[in-house]
Chain A
């Protein structure tokens, strides 16, 4: 019987694992913590689908058009067509496995309007859509766990892939309890490890998503794509440890952005874009907030206690709990923050990378979203991508024979041991903090050639010392060894942003503020013994 390794147990990983199990393929589902801790549970908004219940004038082709336009025309048309065409079936599937959707008086799932879309097609579960979907998928996965088709492996981290001659035969996993590296061989490996939050330190997402796996695979020959496209959410609240998301619904309900000047409020979005200025797309609002170069506030107090309690209770609770701000009487200090990564591992339509039998799904893969993601499309892409990868890999036969990786494994074991013996005074966490500062400074909302070049210089310096740092034995081993992969992802991201000498979607270059026809393609980046090479995918080798 075939056996598949799925690395990551959020929505994309669960979707893939369940589909494999439905096809009678055995799955080992690897994650450091259970699915309830995955970043997927933090997705609030909803999931897009055109169904029979939607407005008569809505259509799948309209969803496709909105997605391609939102992505500034560089997402693969065939990929997006598949995604949008299957969305109705995905909603049906989620209903079937018992997802608690918000329903209308007839018991039908309700829809809400979302930014960047021509029709109301975003299905939702109150304000915790991701969590409700995770709960339903966890129950469904449990069914297959009980049947022996899915086996969870917790407290375990991805270390590296076992690749030879362009084919993946399995992975090396690090067991944090035993503190050992163990090889696992499989007929296919599916990466579902999320976005690259750790590059930026504080983001709106989970600290478990760090970009290590993509970076390590990149160093082992996998191509990365579109890393310059990073979505900033315009309204987040600073707290000690992270940036808390203030939902777009706060502006949807009428919330107004302003800064203070000479004792009066300046409603800069309304001044520039008119009455609906506060509801411009995320990238525009983020750039406008950045351009004010002042402390910006979001005011909802005028909505009144009752409406706030009815529609924005979670914003109210969050502000009061983490900052002591009563939004019924006080404005919320907000600033843009990193929220979603459109870039990641380059994958073909079947979600396979350029390494045979190595797949990527969810946010760690670059697919469907082009230069900017529509709200409500990430949950859809995570579920759909998992299914597509599973259906493809289940049809494949097992590899003919597995070569020996003994030499590679021994080398990696020696490498880890050597770090534990390092006499360096500097622990790994120092560099991670410095990297976050560099990325914020050089790869933020507004970029320049000069800034990006400085960023690459800084990251090259971190890379030059990373191999000599002290591994702190009192933090997890993963927190130590993950640094080199994270730095590679950071270097690749800066390289992509430097190469794209134009502005498009979420990528804004102050020194090239317009889009250029010659750049209407995805960016690919490869690694060859320390050299980072970028090029435009003019042949549309990926995602199309």
Chain B
């Protein structure tokens, strides 16, 4: 099996492709494949040249933290939650999330996610629940990993300067549902940075590792 990785040494250098031959187990995750490559005494690419170990980010290794979000064979996904046997073909292509600045190899700087939430004042403050809100939807919304997969796939999200994406919409819903005093203002903020510009492709829901129903959040906030 061949593994092609889009690599980059630092935020200011140019990205480049490098390929590796992988002969490890197939019934494993992409995260385990990366560990397998890196574990060798010296990492050698498919041209037989010694090269630097591949940098990537992780913490929980069980799909609960969002650290290892990347693009796998063209689809945004978590490396620890994607299995080789489920991928098509004999080649695996790994790229960093393209909508965030690359720090090194597959590690990107996702600070814009938190910055946008902070600057828009997305916090509950004091629990004063709105009436008739679904517990299940709030529970799911609060499971958001802030991994950035929904932003990577979104046709409307580019750089997070005006349109903040599904991650923003779901946090807005949580504030709306749990503090009715803030509901009106939060709907305005939501419309400004999400509702007015979302073209409703809903691709965000296809890639969300927590299966958050962004369309349900939108339905509540568009009312």
Asked if A37 and B126 make an inter-chain contact with CB atoms under 8 angstroms apart, the answer reads no
Expressed in whole angstroms, the Cα–Cα distance for A402 and B171 within the complex equals: 43
Of listed A38, A97, A100, A142, residue having the most chain B CB within 10 A: A100
Q: When chains A and B are docked, how far (Å) is the Cα of A41 from the Cα of B143?
A: 9
Q: With A97-B127, A136-B124 in contact, is A37–B139 under 8 Å at CB?
A: no
Which of B11, B58, B142 contacts A135, CB < 8 Å?
Answer: B142
- Flag if A206 contacts B143 (CB, 8 Å): no
Q: In the complex, which of the residues B122, B129, B138, B145 contacts A139, with contact meaning CB atoms closer than 8 Å?
A: B122
Binds A, one of B24-32, B91-99, B158-166, B197-205: B24-32
B223 beta carbon closer than 8 Å to chain A: no
Chain B, range 109-133, C-beta contacts under 8 Å to A: 109-111, 114, 117-119, 121-127, 129
B124 close to A97 (CB less than 8 A): yes
Within the complex, what minimum Cβ distance (angstroms) separates B217 from chain A?
A: 14
- From B38, B65, B125, name the one whose CB has the most chain A CB atoms within 10 angstroms: B65
A36 contacts across to B, CB distance below 8 A = 65-66, 145-147
- Residues of chain A contacted by B32 (CB below 8 angstroms): 239-241
The interface residues of chain B lying within 8 Å CB-to-CB of A126 are: 139
Neighbouring A residues of B19 by C-beta, 8 Å: none
Q: Quick check: A41 and B142 within 8 Å, CB to CB? A: no
Report if A143-B125 is in contact (Cβ < 8 Å); known contacts: A100-B138, A100-B142, A132-B142.
Answer: yes
CA–CA, A208 and B64, complex, Å: 14
Q: Check if B191 is an interface residue, CB within 8 A of chain A.
A: no
Sort chain A's interface into a size bin.
35 or more
Q: Which of B83, B142, B145 contacts A136 (CB 8 A)?
A: B142
A96 interfacial by beta-carbon distance below 8 Å: yes
* Chain A residues numbered 86-107 whose CB sits less than 8 Å from any CB in chain B: 95-98, 100, 102-103, 107
Query: Which of A98, A102, A135 has the most chain B CB atoms closer than 10 A to its own CB?
Result: A98
Which B residues lie within 8 Å of A213 (CB)? none
Contact with A along B7-51 (1 / 0, CB 8 A): 000010000000000000101110110010011000100000000
Report if A33-B67 is in contact (Cβ < 8 Å); known contacts: A126-B139, A240-B28, A240-B29: yes
Report the Cα distance A41→B59, complex, angstroms: 10
Contact status B62-A98, CB under 8 Å: no
Q: Is B5 an interface residue when CB atoms closer than 8 A count as contact?
A: no
State the CA gap A97–B178 with chains docked (Å).
Answer: 9
Taken residue by residue from 119 to 148, chain A's Cβ proximity to chain B (1 for < 8 Å, 0 otherwise) reads as: 000000110100110011001101101100
Which residues of B sit under 8 angstroms from A135, Cβ to Cβ?
142-144, 174
Is B206 on the interface with A (CB-CB < 8 A)?
Answer: no
Beta-carbon contacts under 8 Å, B149-202 to A: 171, 174-175, 178-179
B64 with A41: CB separation less than 8 A: yes
Q: Report A-chain residues with C-beta under 8 Å of the C-beta of B114.
A: 34, 142, 152
A-B pairs with beta carbons under 8 A, tally: 132
Instruction: Note all chain A residues with C-beta closer than 8 A to B139.
Output: 100, 125-126, 132
A416 at the binding interface (Cβ < 8 Å): no
The proximity string for A residues 383-413 relative to B, scoring 1 for CB distances below 8 Å and 0 otherwise, is: 0000000000000000000000000000000
Q: Which residues of A sit under 8 angstroms from B109, Cβ to Cβ?
A: 155
**Once the chains bind, are A42 and B64 in contact (CB under 8 Å)?**
yes
Asked whether B143 lies within 8 Å of A128 as measured between CB atoms, the reply is: yes
- Specify which chain A residues have a CB less than 8 angstroms from the CB of B174 in the assembled complex: 98, 100, 135, 139
User: How far, in Å, is B160 (CB) from chain A's closest CB?
Assistant: 15
B62 touches A318 (CB 8 A): yes
Q: A34-B114, A139-B122, A146-B119 are in contact. Are A98 and B60 (CB under 8 A)?
A: no
- CB of B123 within 8 A of CB of A139, answer yes
Cβ–Cβ contact B123 & A324, under 8 A: no
A322 CA to B29 CA in the complex, in Å?
Answer: 8
User: Does A154 interact with chain B (Cβ within 8 Å)?
Assistant: yes
- Hey, which chain B residues are within 8 Å of A441, CB to CB? none
Tell me which of B66, B103, B123 contacts A140 (CB under 8 A).
B123
Q: Name B135's closest neighbour in chain A (CB-CB).
A: A103
* Shortest distance from the beta carbon of B37 to any chain A beta carbon, whole Å: 12
Q: Are B111 and A142 in contact (CB under 8 A)?
A: no
Task: State whether A140 and B124 are in contact (beta carbons under 8 Å apart), knowing that A100-B142, A207-B58 are contacts in the complex.
Answer: yes
Contacts of A419 in B (CB 8 A): none
B27 and A98 contacting across the interface, CB-CB below 8 Å: no
CB distance from A157 to the nearest CB of B (A): 14
A177 touches B65 (CB 8 A): no
A77 within 8 A of B: no
Q: Which residues of B contact A100 (CB under 8 A)?
A: 135, 138-139, 142, 174, 178
Q: Give the distance in Å from the alpha carbon of A202 to the alpha carbon of B123 in the complex.
A: 36
Tell me whether A475 is interfacial, beta carbon within 8 Å.
yes
Contacting pair A42 B60 (CB below 8 A):
yes
A48 on the B face (CB < 8 A): no
Complex-state Cα separation, A207 to B123, whole angstroms: 29
Q: Is there contact, CB below 8 Å, between B127 and A142?
A: no
A505 to B166, CA, bound (A): 47
Measured between beta carbons, the chain A residues less than 8 angstroms from B178 are 98, 100
A424 within 8 A of partner (CB): no
**Binary contact track A16-38/B, C-beta < 8 Å → 1, others 0:** 00000000000000000110111
Query: Is A142 in contact with B61, judged by CB distance below 8 angstroms?
Result: no
Q: Which residues of A contact B118 (CB under 8 A)?
A: 142, 145-146
The closest CB in chain A to the CB of B34 belongs to A241
Distance in Å from the Cβ of A418 to the closest Cβ of chain B? 21
Contact present for B62 and A139 (CB under 8 Å): no
Q: Is A474 an interface residue (CB 8 A)?
A: yes
Contact of A474 among B31, B52, B121, B123 (CB under 8 A): B52
Report Cα–Cα, A97/B43, bound state, in Å: 48
Q: Does B55 belong to the interface (CB within 8 Å)?
A: yes
**A241-B60 in contact (CB<8A):** no
Nearest A-chain residue to B35, judged by Cβ? A241
**A472 CB–B CB distance under 8 Å:** yes
Return chain A residues, CB-CB under 8 Å to B122: 139, 142
With a CB–CB cut-off of 8 A, which chain B residues contact A429?
39
The reply to whether A33 and B57 contact each other, CB–CB distance below 8 Å, is: yes
Q: Which of A42, A142, A155, A206 contacts B123 (CB 8 A)?
A: A142
* B25 pairs with A240, CB closer than 8 A: yes
A96 to B179, CA, bound (A): 10
Contacts A36-B145, A132-B142, A207-B58: A98 and B53 contacting too (C-beta < 8 A)? Answer: no
CA distance A132 to B143 in the complex (A): 7
Closest beta carbon of chain A to B82's beta carbon, Å:
10
Contact (A143, B123) CB under 8 Å given A37-B66, A98-B179: yes
A–B complex contacts, Cβ < 8 Å, 22 sampled: A34-B110, A34-B114, A34-B146, A36-B65, A37-B59, A37-B60, A42-B65, A98-B179, A100-B174, A100-B178, A132-B142, A136-B124, A139-B123, A142-B117, A146-B121, A240-B25, A240-B29, A241-B31, A241-B61, A321-B83, A324-B27, A474-B55
Starting from the known contacts A100-B178, A241-B32, 4 additional A-B residue pairs (CB-CB under 8 Å) come to: A131-B64, A135-B143, A135-B144, A139-B124
> 6 tightest A-B contacts by CB?
A98-B124, A474-B52, A240-B32, A37-B59, A135-B142, A474-B53
